[in-house]
Structures are given as structure tokens and as C-alpha cells.
Amino acid sequence: MKSKILVLMAGLLLSLNAFAISLQDAKAQGLVGEQTNGYLGVVVKSGEASALAKSVNAKRKAHYEKIARKNQISVNDVAKLAAEKAIAAAAKGHYIQTPQGKWVKK
């Protein structure tokens, strides 16, 4: 009986990853968008969107820091340049943040 419960619990834990939303799906659904600071922002508050944004932003920050060190510039400068590129590259219908901080569909 114990082994059946353990197998069931392991299966449930592994299946949680299958329900995690991808970045592109979250953007297409309007849950997240590109901010002017180079990081992903949550447009529609949800635990899943917040977790995704936190994960993506941690990876972005690490990448920005690496680029900043390599080029001897500030992380903020790298993030601002990345924001410009990400906003320009955002697909039609995805949310982007205006300089005033409002979310708009591109």
C-alpha cells in the first residue's frame, strides 16, 4: 500500500511540470509582457505567470550580468538595451510596457 502511494505521489509531482506554461504561451495568452527595464512583467496576476516571470527574470539577470562584465558596462545599461530589442521583437498581440508603465498590446 505504501509503495502505491509513493508511486502516485511521484507521478503527481512529475506531472506538475507538464502543466507549467511556456513563455510563448504565456505571452500569447496575455499573461506576461516585456517591460521597459529588460525584464518580463506579469500582466494578469496568477501564480503560474508570476513563477514563470521570476524564473525567466533570474536567467535574464544572470545573462545581463555576464554581458556587462564582458563589456565593462552596467547591468542596467545591458537591461535597457535588451528591453528595446525585446519590445521591438515582440509579436503583434503580445503585451509590452509603455515608458509610462502601462501595458498595451503591440
Which long-range contacts does 7-10 make (Cβ < 8 Å, 24+ apart)?
Answer: none
Give the number of other Cβ atoms within 10 Å of residue 41's Cβ.
18
46-to-27, 37, 55, 90 alpha-carbon distances in Å: 13, 21, 14, 21
Percentage of the residues of the chain whose pLDDT score is greater than 70: 81
Amino acid residing at 54: K
pLDDT the model gives residue 17: 42
Which pTM was predicted? 0.80
pLDDT for the residue numbered 21:
87
Query: Torsions phi, psi of 40, nearest 5?
Result: -80, 135
Q: What is the pLDDT of residues 8-21, one digit of tens each?
A: 344 434 433 444 78
pLDDT computed for residue 16 by the predictor = 39
Asked if pLDDT for residue 33 goes beyond 80, the answer is yes
Which residue matches cell numbers 503527481? 12
Looking at the predicted structure, is the pLDDT value of residue 54 above 50? yes
Percent of the chain with pLDDT over 90: 80
- One-letter amino acid at 93 equals G
